[in-house]
Structure 1
Amino acid sequence: MSKYTLLLAASLFLCYACSTELPPDLAAELKTLPSELDYNLHVKPILSDKCFACHGPDKAKQKAGLRLDIAEAAYARLEENPGKVAIAKGSLRRSEVFHRIISTDPEYLMPSPASHLSLSNREKAILIKWIKDGAEYQPHWAFVAPKKTEVPKVKKAGWVKNPIDNFIVQKLEEEKLAPSPEASKEILLRRLSLDLTGLPPTLTEIDAFLQDKSPKAYEKQVDRLLNSPHYGEKMAVDWLDLARFADSHGYTVDRLRDMSPYRDWVIQAFNANQKYDQFIQWQLAGDMMPKPSKDMIIATAFNRNHPQNMEGGIIEEEFQTEYVVDRTNTFGEAFMGLSLGCAKCHDHKYDPLSQQNYYEIFSFFNNVKEAGQISWNSAPPTPTLMLPTEKQEKIIRFIQKTIAEQEQKITQLQAQSEPDFKQWLQSGAYQTLAKAKIPQNGLQAHYTFEDGDLKNSVNPKQIGIMKRETGMTGDKPDFVATNSGKALKMEGDVYLDLNEVGVFRKSEPFSIGIKVNIPKGLKEGVIFHKSSAERLYNFRGYHLYLKNDRLEINMAHTAPSNAISRVSQQPVPRDRWIQLTLTYDGSSRAEGFKLYQDGQALAMETTMDQLYKDIIFNSNPELGLQIGAWWRGLGFKGGQVDDIMVYQRELTPFEVEILAQKQSWPSIVSKKHQQLSAKEVAILQAYYQNSVSPGLLAAQKALQISRTQLSDSSAQVEELMVMQEMTKPKKTFLLQRGNYDMSGKEVFPNTPSAILPFPNNLPKNRLGLAQWLCLPEHPLTARVAVNRFWQNFFGAGLVKTTEDFGNQGELPSHLALLDWLALSFVESGWDIKALNKLIVMSATYRQSSKVNKNLREKDPENRFLARGPAYRMSAEMIRDNALTASGLLNKKIGGKSIKPYQPQGLWEINSANYAQDTTDAVYRRSLYIVVKRSVPHPTLATFDAGSRSYCVVRRQKTNTPLQALVTLNDPTFLEASKVLGVQMCNMPDARKAIVEVYRRLTGRQPAADEVELLLGLQKKQREKFQQNPEKTRGWLNAGLYKVDPTLDVALLAANAVVANTILNSDATLTRR
């Protein structure tokens, strides 16, 4: 090709590229558009879906440095071609976007073919018209505070029952649609009862409503159901999905846990009509309220409902981070309808949420002292709240009062013991102390290693054993020579097991002395401990640990929060012998837990001081003191130990100096009492009070008994995981790529300014965050809540994507109504029952769900609401409906979860045993069925019950053959059918029996042809069972319910088939 030809082709291409002439199909599409475009309604959905992935808020993914989500960037000169702009207001010729979207050159076309995000002709036409009209940007509708609008006036004013209907009718009139007539009273009452209580109406309730001809008949039913104790149960089902409530920890092991007190609180809160702002503030930060009540703290279990991992070998910090990530993501989705999690690893690709925004919110939830690897036993992960019964609380308070009195009495006895002490001093009895090199009173064990063995010199029958961290024996002790004799060298994986020595409860005073030589290169490791493993049981017991050149003493029931933890404030000496003594007074307080180095008390920082349960395992035998290593943890590698002493009492400071060979008794007791200095007298007086005085020893023994009684009483008290703020705020860093071990810059608590800046007058903590969420000007909180409550009644929210109010979410079907409801909700004082009543009292809610072909074609998903909602009942409703209709339902409210019928062996996948309930607990509501995260109850799972491993605000809806197999074969439904069959046997008129059962299950009268079909089925099935009685067994043996043996089993089985057929019908399973 000649140079001239190339230049001509290039010129023609440039002319075409600069042309604003449209292809005929695009020009035709432009003519179909409305005269005015709305940016949020028409334009932004296209930009968000097709452009923001490469030209949106995520800086890391922005191509060519171009942003199209904000006006200033879209109007600015292009980074790669400063002579051009992406969008020129009102000018297609100057807008690069226009030329790109209409191009036929794959190298020039945008979106690029490689992205698979091509624009339709209509989408191109909308963008073209928008640019021609001035390319005006508007803020995202959900990030602008709702504005009160006037209730619209409509032509069908006679149909309207409250303002909701005005907004709905206005839209219907725009779409040239008419609302549907009101549903029949039977249908309406069943709909209302299911929506407000999750239970069907009884025949008595149906008949009473049918007979009530008063103008307020329907409203009376609304008020009755709103005040039903079962209202709270129904409301709780959806909230527990959102709160990811479960009865197990999740992950591979998935052990059970008990969070039922939180579920009980949620039910009670809904029944009491707790205002929504208070309801969510308590859950987010109830523990931080002024003088928080027990209920306020229980509510914070919301933040701890997430899965927690107990698998061995996991990385502590990784899972601590995961738990905070869960809280952060749940906060965003549950309360603001935002996919915050999309900003964990990078800036959000579609919404104005940066990665820094994410970790600023993350920091609000990152100030809890919790374990990443939770305890292998049944101890609830801390922090926890003790939940004693009324009886337990009385006992505990009595013991606590007794302890306080006994502690005061000891203080008084110490002051009163002066005369007795002087008499003892003058008698010279103290001079006998010269006989022993170390204190002998209370000495349980002493290991010197001088004879090259591991014998306890106090009790030579007690011989220590060298063990591997796995518990294997066979290793020989490695004795090394020192200036003072022999010492034991530790290699880090082998420990000295002292068997039953050192077994103490938190109520028992004790002291442990040990000489150690810490090698220079050892950064971290355990010196001694009495526990099962490092993290396996969250450090239950006590230990002395070297970390970061400091010494840590710890005593725990379940670390890190049900514990005492203290850390020395000075560096530990290396490569020389030092003597360490730990003393404890049995008080369960940090001040009673001391550490001495070479006889001198070390300055200690207390990092945790709330030990409220015992430190032993109550196993037989109980594990004793172990030196130098522990299972799955770092040991005292290269270190040396010597002269180990264990006392069953708290040593005095002078006695500690004796162990460190800094003092000795002979230097004092060799003197006559008149020659003693004041300091020496004080030393002897401390010894007298601690080891001699009969009155004080008896008082101390009584105090120890009371403290043990408190430990025993507290052991029976149940605990609930809750939130508890750390006194010293934890630093938070932006995690690069979301990785726990890739810390970036430090961030501080804050909220995204694109949503609502955090006010200066609120505290920068969880309480402040909860208060920020409920500010009247917050654009999302009320909208999201109202939308979710609307979804409960219509099957879909006004914003269908309940979980996403951001740029990728669906636009509201009725924005003005959503805003009106949101503002009314706030103005009502966040009154949930008032909102629900407003919705169900509307003519919109009361419409018949019948639909004609025209309406179905125009609005298949019922987004215009020209008819009542009809959809399959929820998983819980389907089971509860069968139990209610049969009369089996156990209506007990609250309490622990139940284990109803379930196929055998399901839980064996993670070595768990499913012990099915054998009482009427199996007939309790589905709300109470145990939720094991790794193995959800198959019936509920098949009918789309929410996953409880993460926050779910909108359940999926499926329709599969498995669902029919469940209602045809699950023992619950077979048993309900059997019980209904028994009741039918007791009714002499078969026709009336069928009508009654049909009404119980469906809430309405059957049509005549339906009755005839069922009568025919009954007759056919009865003949079948009479010919083959063996086939009745499946029905007779279903469930726990025992059948009267005198009944006609063929008739019973036939009736059960009829009942089960009705139960499986669309009329039963569909909430209309």
Structure 2
Amino acid sequence: MPFTPRFGQVPNATFQLFATSLLLCVITQAAEPVAIDWTKARQHWSFVPPKAQALPKVKDTAWPRGRVDHFILASMEAKELTPSREADVRTLIRRVAFDLTGLPPTPEEVRAFVSDARPDAYARLVDDLLGRRAFGERMASVWLNLARYAEDQAHQVGGNSSLNYPNAWRYRDWVIAAFNADLPYDAFIEKQLAVDLIEPQNKADHAALGFLGLGHKLYARSRLDVQAEEWSEQVDTVSQTFLGLTVACARCHDHKSDPITARDYYAMAGVFASVQMVNLRPDGKEEDGKTLADKMDPGTLHVVRDLKPHDLPVYDRGDMESPGVTAPRGWLQVLSKGEPVKFQQGSGRAELARQITDPANPLTARVMVNRVWDLLFGKPLARTTSNFGATGDKPTHPELLDDLAIRFMQNGWSLKRLMRELVLSATYRQTSRSGAFQAPRAVANRPSLEIDEANDHFWRMNRRQLGIESWRDAIMAAAGTLTLEGGPSQSLDAPTHHKRTIYSQVSRRDLNKTLMLFDYPDANVHAARRSSSTTPTQKLFVMNSPFIIEQSKRLAQRLQQSGSDDTSRIRHAYELLFAREPEAEEIAIAQEFLKQPAESSLNAWEQLAQALLATNEMLYVD
């Protein structure tokens, strides 16, 4: 039977899911292992190294602005689709500002961009946004979900907080700084897995080890079956985040669909069985393992260090009482040229990191390029962003994915350079309105929406819902309450919390209800990408939340001080919230509303401010 911790309380839904999955894994009657044809296995699209691609030929040679557009247009023309027209300048600046910084443009920035007639005005805007601290905060909001960032554990007995992470924010700040410095992605990975081994003198980057050091810690950690749960969690997070593979599925038996054996799993798990999660003080000494969170040194980092390295046996069907043959610590066989590469330097963390970032590895660059495309276009090229295996989806544009991956590595693994190229493309600049075509249809004038309703060929931009961080930050930016300092986390519900939302506390045990309401993922597990929901309770939150009511009051004060008459104030409201001028009908409706007697504790301007904050336009980006 699988391990069930005695935590003194009923496990939450997340742990019950873990337990159920493990139970199914253990009770599965494993068939006799089938010999894997490794030559054939390596022919799966994601295991074939990406190849340099010739630029596709297109009929409409005037439309492409760069290499990306040639690939996209070629796929459109093959389906007799036509690109949509370019978005207007106000829509474009709002879109790219949110995408690159997670914040809306100010009215002054919008006016400056609209009036800038230089041919490189948009490129200048992009470069400015990429250079802001807000860029790192935006990217970190994505990365922390992949890294299952949290500041506590799923279970706690009484007031025992010794397994929590009061200084987790130091890892978060490292991630933000790394993105802002455009740390090459291969180095970004290596530092998070093994900076202490690769660069022993580099104490400044030790916070990067929080990627591993902020993992799950279970009670009764001296027990082998408990330790096995922690190894499995580390293998799962590392393999899905960096490789787009579900290696942990091979814990109990060879992977059911991918060429990953139980030996592969225990070879990787042996790396994590040879390390220990520790709390490292600034003087280099470890905190006492029962040091409570509120007693911990404020400079303490939650990291990992090597123990005596040792290999694991392959446990029969995951049963820790049934050890089998030893699996030397090493790399996945399907990604090795012949026999699996063995790790021999300490725990093997540094060797694991270098195998992941080896340019010959066909997965790492593809996986990250696919995540960036998803971030900017609202739909990845390969839909299953953390599963590039047999059960995952094939990419819709495999040649484009290969071309981007190859050039990503050739260009020094620079994320800023990659993102700059994508947002400057004609593909990115298209309007999201489905009827905005450049030319009549080729086949019986059929609209693109009918030919490709899902927009698989990117003939228009996807309208996207803001994540909770960008939405909440935009509300405070409009109200004039947003502060830009970083540092330690605050409770999201604290009345004084006006920092960006990324600086909020994240709990595995009890995720903040507002974060949960607006689709922030469960911090217990790696989150491949966020879901996007629209529910009545979200609108009820906007109607009744003390935070929204307070921001509405502050926004109303700001608007009333912004002009000498209602019309100019209404115009300013639309500039602040939507980066556009209001239409005449919208001005008339607002003016009429302001004449009505107040029917709540809020005055007319405060009610108008709240109504504008509640609009779909506030929550979505075109």
* Local SS of the residue matching 1:869: coil
| 3-state SS of 1:939 partner | helix
Q: Is the 8 A contact 1:284 1:770 kept in 2?
A: yes
| Count of equivalent residues | 574
2:151 alignment counterpart: 247
What is the one-letter code of the residue matched to 2:549?
A: L
Matched, 1:1055 2:605: yes
Partner of 2:60: 156
Checking the alignment, whether the CA contact within 8 Å between 1:148 and 1:819 is kept in structure 2 is yes
What is the rounded CA distance, in whole Å, between the counterparts of 2:583 and 2:200 in structure 1? 61
Deviation at 1:215, TM superposition (A): 0.3
Matched, 1:265 2:265: no
Q: How many Å separate the matches in 1 of 2:560 and 2:333?
A: 68
Change (3 A) 1:992 1:798: same
The residue aligned with 1:994 is 570
Q: Does 1:386 align with 2:281?
A: yes
| TM superposition shift of 1:760 | 7.1
TM-score by length of 2: 0.87
Q: Is the 8 A contact 1:328 1:362 kept in 2?
A: yes
Instruction: Look up the equivalent residue of 2:126 and give its one-letter code.
Output: V
- The normalised TM-score by structure 1 is 0.51
Other structure's SS at 2:103 match: coil
CA contact (8 A) 2:331 2:341 kept: no
Instruction: Spell out, residue by residue over 1:641-668, the C-alpha distance to the aligned partner (whole angstroms, 9 max, x if none).
Output: xxxxxxxxxxxxxxxxxxxxxxxxxxxx
- Specify which of 379, 385, 389 is matched with residue 802 of structure 1: 385
Contact 1:900/1:923, CA 8 A, preserved across alignment: no
Question: Which whole-Å CA distance do the structure 1 matches of 2:68 and 2:344 have between them?
Answer: 35
Match of 2:491 in 1: 899
- TM-superposed CA distance for 1:61, in Å, is 5.0
The equivalent residue for 1:754 is 334
Alignment partner of 1:724 is 2:316:
no
Residue 716 of structure 1, CA deviation: 4.7
Match of 2:458 in 1: 865
Q: Which amino acid aligns with 2:361?
A: H
- 1:292–1:752: structure 2 CA closer, same or farther, 3 Å change rule? same
In 1, are the aligned partners of 2:472 and 2:501 still within 8 Å (CA)? yes
Structure 1 residues 931 and 716: alpha-carbon distance in aligned structure 2, compared to 1, 3 A threshold = closer
The match for 2:92 is 188
Contact 2:84 2:460 in 1 (8 A): yes
Equivalent of 1:971 in 532, 546, 562: 546
Q: CA-to-partner distance for each residue in 1:963-987, whole Å, 9 max, x for gaps?
A: 1112222222222111111123333
> Could you tell me which of 396, 399, 404 is aligned with 1:813?
396
Change (3 A) 1:834 1:71: closer
Mapped to 2, the partners of 1:294 and 1:71 lie a distance apart of 41
Q: Which amino acid aligns with 1:945?
A: Y
CA distance in 2, matches of 1:858, 1:1060: 40
Q: What does 1:430-509 correspond to in 2, within 5 Å?
A: none
Q: Alpha-carbon deviation of 1:763?
A: 4.4
Partner SS state of residue 754, structure 1: helix
Measured in 2, the distance between the counterparts of 1:1024 and 1:72 equals 74
The equivalent position to 1:365 in structure 2, one of 262, 268, 272, is 272
8 Å contact kept, 1:286–1:292: no
Change in Cα spacing, 1:741 to 1:975, as seen in structure 2 (3 Å) is farther
How big is the shift at 1:252?
Answer: 4.4
Deviation, 1:715, is 7.5
Q: Which amino acid aligns with 1:228?
A: R
Residue equivalent to 2:15:
none
SS in 2 for 1:846: coil
Which residue does 2:509 correspond to in 1? 934
The Cα of 1:152 is off from its aligned counterpart by: 1.1
Instruction: Output the CA distance in 1 between the equivalents of 2:79 and 2:212.
Output: 44
- 1:889 corresponding residue in structure 2: 482
Alpha-carbon deviations, 1:608-637, whole Å to 9, x = none? xxxxx9xxx9xxxxxxxxxxxxxxxxxxxx
Q: 1:206 aligns with which of 92, 110, 125?
A: 110
Secondary structure at the counterpart of residue 721 of structure 1: strand
CA distance in 2, matches of 1:929, 1:72: 48
Distance 2:178 2:207 in 1: 12
Q: Post-superposition shift, 1:357?
A: 0.9
1:342 and 2:342 aligned? no
Contiguous gaps of at least 5 residues in structure 2: 1-27, 436-445
> Greater Rg, structure 1 or structure 2?
1
How has the CA–CA distance of structure 1 residues 1067 and 285 changed in structure 2, closer, same or farther, with 3 Å as cutoff? Answer: same
- Of 193, 196, 205, the residue aligned with 1:296 is 205
Write the letter of the residue equivalent to 1:227. G
Contact 1:387 1:717 (C-alpha < 8 Å) held by counterparts? no
User: What is the CA-CA distance between 1:855 and the residue it aligns to?
Assistant: 2.8
Closer/same/farther in 2, CA of residues 884 and 760 from structure 1, 3 Å limit: same
Q: For residues 814-834 of structure 1, give each alpha carbon's deviation from its aligned partner in whole angstroms, at most 9, with x where no partner exists.
A: 000000000000001111110
> Deviation at 1:315?
6.3
Task: Tell me, yes or no, if the aligned pair for 1:238 and 1:953 is still in contact at 8 Å.
Answer: no
Instruction: Classify the secondary structure of the residue corresponding to 1:722.
Output: strand
* Match of residue 1064, structure 1, among 603, 614, 620: 614
Provide Cα deviations, 1:212-271, integer angstroms capped at 9, x if missing partner.
010000001000000001110000001100111112122244945221111110000001
Deviation, structure 1 residue 1067: 1.4
Computed over aligned residues only, the root mean square deviation of the Cα atoms, in angstroms, reads 2.6
Q: Which residue of 2 aligns with 1:776?
A: 359
Contact 1:232 1:267 in 2 (8 A): yes
Q: Which residue of 1 aligns with 2:5?
A: none
- Corresponding residue of 2:520: 945
Identity %: 33
Q: Is the 8 A contact 2:194 2:209 kept in 1?
A: yes
The offset of 1:1017, in angstroms, is: 2.3
Question: What secondary structure does 1:1061 align onto?
Answer: helix
What is the identity, as a one-letter code, of the residue corresponding to 2:112? A
Preserved CA contact (<8 Å) 1:196 1:225: yes
Q: Distance in 1 between matches of 2:423 and 2:296?
A: 48
For 2:263 and 2:480, the matched residues in 1 are separated by: 56
The equivalent position to 1:825 in structure 2, one of 408, 414, 417, is: 408
Is 1:1004 the counterpart of 2:596 in the alignment?
no
Structure 2 CA distance for aligned equivalents of residues 938 and 1007 of structure 1: 36
Task: Classify the secondary structure of the residue corresponding to 1:723.
Answer: strand
Q: Would the aligned equivalents of 2:329 and 2:343 in 1 still touch at CA under 8 Å?
A: no
5 Å matches for 1:691-706?
none
1:921-952 per-position Cα deviation (integer Å, ceiling 9, x unaligned): x1111101111212212222111112211111
- Pairing 1:334-733 to 2, within 5 Å after superposition: 334-370=241-277, 383-387=278-282, 558-559=288-289, 716=297, 718-726=299-307, 728-733=308-313
Q: Which residue of 2 aligns with 1:226?
A: 130
Q: Cα gap change, 1:319/1:860 in structure 2, threshold over 3 Å: closer, same or farther?
A: farther
- Structure number with the higher strand fraction is 1
Alignment correspondent of 1:1016: 592
Q: Which sections of structure 1, spanning at least 5 residues, go unmatched? A: 1-58, 74-136, 371-382, 397-555, 563-612, 618-713, 902-915, 1026-1030, 1036-1052
Kindly provide the amino acid, as one letter, of the partner of residue 249 in structure 1.
Q
Q: What amino acid sits opposite 1:896 in the alignment?
A: P
Using the TM superposition, give the Cα deviation of residue 771 of structure 1 relative to its aligned residue in structure 2, in angstroms. 0.6
Quote the Cα distance in structure 2 between the aligned partners of 1:170 and 1:1057.
Answer: 50
CA distance in 2, matches of 1:983, 1:297: 43
Q: Partners of 2:613 and 2:357 in 1: how far apart?
A: 44
Following the alignment from structure 2 to structure 1, what is the Cα–Cα distance between the partners of residues 484 and 594? 31
Q: 2: CA distance between counterparts of 1:1062 and 1:990? A: 15
Residue identity in the other structure for 1:345 = C
AA at the equivalent of 1:386: R
Q: Deviations over 1:514-536 (max 9, x none)?
A: xxxxxxxxxxxxxxxxxxxxxxx
Report the CA distance between 1:365 and its aligned residue: 1.6
- Note if contact 1:345-1:737 (Cα within 8 Å) is conserved in structure 2: yes
